[in-house]
Structure 1
Amino acid sequence: MKTVKFQLEPLTCPSCIKKIEGKLGKMNGVGETKVMFNSSKVKATFDAEQVTAEELQKTIEKLGYPVLSSKIV
């Protein structure tokens, strides 16, 4: 499993957390997902054989949350 961190534009409501975590959590190959509201960061573990970090980023952006940067850690 790999871990990726995304820096988003500032989140405006706590319900954003459930929306992002719920959508990413339903994707094949995604393990734990954590959204940090105060810092507008998303941390997700994923199986690189099933899904890519780019696919995760596209999913977040389709929900309406622009990704400023990403980093695999």
Structure 2
Amino acid sequence: MTTVKFQLEPLTCPSCIKKIEGKVGKIDGVEEVKVLFNSSKVKASYNEEKVSSEELKKVIENLGYPVVA
């Protein structure tokens, strides 16, 4: 199990949390995903044999939330 944290551009609405957690949480290999609204961070625990951090990053960015770090 690997954990990754992504810093996003500032989130503007609480509904962003459900959108990101819902989409990333459905990816095969993702065990847990948590969006921290106040700090605009995404923390995900995943099985690196099934999915990569780059794939997670792409999903987040495709939802319209640029990853800055």
TM over 0.5: yes
TM-score class, shorter-chain normalisation, is over 0.9
CA apart distance, 1:50: 0.1
Residue 9 of structure 1 aligns with an amino acid whose one-letter code is E
Q: Structure 1 runs of 4+ off > 6 angstroms? A: none
CA apart distance, 1:21: 0.2
1:12 is the counterpart of 2:12: yes
Residue 19 of structure 2 aligns with an amino acid whose one-letter code is K
Could you say what the CA RMSD is over the residues aligned between the two structures, in angstroms?
A: 0.3
Counterpart-to-counterpart distance in 2, 1:55 and 1:5: 13
Counterpart-to-counterpart distance in 2, 1:9 and 1:2: 23
Q: As a proportion of its length, which structure holds more strand?
A: 1
Q: Residue by residue, what CA displacement relative to the aligned partner does 1:9-66 show, whole Å, maximum 9, x if unpaired?
A: 0000000000000000100000110000000000000000000000000000000000
TM-score scaled by structure 1?
A: 0.94
1:43 is the counterpart of 2:43: yes
Structure 2: any 5+ residue segments left out of the alignment?
Answer: none
Residue 22 of structure 2 aligns with an amino acid whose one-letter code is G
Counterpart-to-counterpart distance in 1, 2:33 and 2:40: 13
- Matches for 1:1-73 after TM superposition, within 5 Å: 1-69=1-69
Counterpart-to-counterpart distance in 1, 2:2 and 2:34: 14
Counterpart-to-counterpart distance in 2, 1:57 and 1:12: 19
